Amino acid sequence: MRKLSLKELNRVNIDQFKQQEKAPMVLVLDNVRSALNVGSAFRTADAFALEKVYLCGITAQPPHREILKTAIGATDSMDWSYAKQTVDVVAALKAEGYVILAVEQAEESVMLPEFTIVSDTKYALVFGNEVNGVGEAVMEMVDYCLEVPQFGTKHSLNISVCIGVVVWDLFKQLKY
The string of DSSP letters for 123-148 reads: EEEEE-BTTTBS-HHHHTT-SEEEE-
Domains belonging to the chain, first-starting first, are 21-148+156-171 (3.40.1280.10)
pTM: 0.97
- What is the per-residue DSSP string for 5-57? PTGGG----HHHHHHS--EEEEEEEES---HHHHHHHHHHHHHTTEEEEEEET
What spatial distance separates the first Cα and last Cα of the chain, rounded to whole Å?
28
Q: Is the Cβ–Cβ distance between 25 and 93 less than 8 Å? A: no
Helices (H) and strands (E) in the chain, counts: 7, 7
176 pLDDT higher than 70: no
C-alpha distances in Å from residue 61, one per residue of 35, 53, 65, 162: 8, 11, 10, 20
23-63 tens-digit pLDDT: 999 999 999 999 999 999 999 999 999 999 999 999 999 99
66-116 tens-digit pLDDT: 999 999 999 999 999 999 999 999 999 999 999 999 999 999 999 999 999
Task: Tell me the pLDDT of the chain averaged across its residues.
Answer: 97
C-alpha distances in Å from residue 92, one per residue of 55, 84, 127: 14, 13, 17
Distance CA 176, CA 161 (A): 23
Longest dimension (CA), the chain: 52
